[in-house]
Structure 1
């Protein structure tokens, strides 16, 4: 089985970033880009065919709390964000076995970084888990236009739907930031999902007048190897 050499492709964009590289940065933009590099590197190492990678970072300490990558071979519901939330809960269990009211991690101090805009399932988990901020790379529409199925509901819409009792707005929803290292994330998804771009896909894209979108992606995001499978490494 030939696997897309996504890690090499990505590293052509950026030098590999370690967690310690992010700790000396001052601007929010620089910190976000640094952690997004790590999230994408992690995804490309663990599941290059579905490069959804996530980090949960304690932004008060500027330190990574846990990692997560899409684990569709083990459980298709373990999206990168879900895996990260699960890993953090396992690493930091409630000291009183009451995760709802006494979690082992102060989630209000955590920022979720994810290579793709969270789907409604993961967006909802971000709200229920209580993270302070969610940062993503590429968008749901661009993941879909890369060839992969998506629920076409933005995280902004999911957050807007969050209510407390009496239909009052939830004041503790996360702050949202999209488009961080978008080109690098788009490149990874475009190449990984080439196997899903069949005749039906091209016919629908052409019908919607999106031929130029495909041409632009093929020009800017060349793939050295086309993936033939989606196994995790």
Structure 2
């Protein structure tokens, strides 16, 4: 964590969100990342570290999702600030084994309250509307993800009481010619 913090303070002391991805089986740093609000406000420290790892360890088969160039299950993400939902999702998608952080989101919000007008609700939060063309979108994803539905998938779904879910989706979302 000290290395992540030092890296963040060196590269962006105004917003010291830094991250390291460490191969915990070798105790070696795989890559670094730091928040870059000047270049791209969405390039959080964790996102930058994931991007850097993907660049440093490209998929040998050009299939980053199915065959990444780095064994993510052997990686630990160290980040100076608790991951936001976007960065937490990136950790899940990457199948990172462990995430370790310094300052919590609550603490960061309290410290930034002067910037956020006394921690008042942000008036710039967009209106969220879900479920638009839900069936069409569900159909597209159901068919796209059919490659993942194997015996293990069906056994797990049935074990978790989701057999009716499968029957419903198979009936409503045929994938032939979709």
Give yes or no for TM over 0.5.
yes
Q: What are the equivalent positions in structure 2 for 1:128-147 lying under 5 Å apart? A: 128-147=93-112
Q: What are the equivalent positions in structure 2 for 1:1-233 lying under 5 Å apart? A: 36-147=1-112, 196=115, 200-201=117-118
- Long gaps (5+) in structure 1: 1-35, 149-193, 205-233
TM-score by length of 1: 0.50
TM-score by length of 2: 0.65
> How far did residue 201 of structure 1 move?
1.9
> For this pair of structures, how many residues does the alignment match?
120
Q: Structure 1 residue runs of 4+, over 6 Å off? A: none
- Secondary structure of 1:131's match? coil
Tell me the distance in 2 between the aligned counterparts of 1:82 and 1:201.
28
Structure ID, larger Rg = 2
Tell me the distance in 2 between the aligned counterparts of 1:51 and 1:81.
12
> How far did residue 41 of structure 1 move?
0.3
> How far did residue 108 of structure 1 move?
0.3
Tell me the distance in 2 between the aligned counterparts of 1:41 and 1:143.
18
Tell me the distance in 2 between the aligned counterparts of 1:89 and 1:41.
23
The higher relative CO (CA closer than 8 Å, separation ≥ 6) is in 1
- Secondary structure of 2:3's match? helix
Tell me the distance in 2 between the aligned counterparts of 1:139 and 1:132.
20
> How far did residue 147 of structure 1 move?
1.1
Q: CA RMSD in A?
A: 1.5
- Long gaps (5+) in structure 2: 121-178
Which digits, 9 at most, give the CA deviation of each residue in 1:121-179, with x for residues without a partner?
0000000011000000010000000016xxxxxxxxxxxxxxxxxxxxxxxxxxxxxxx
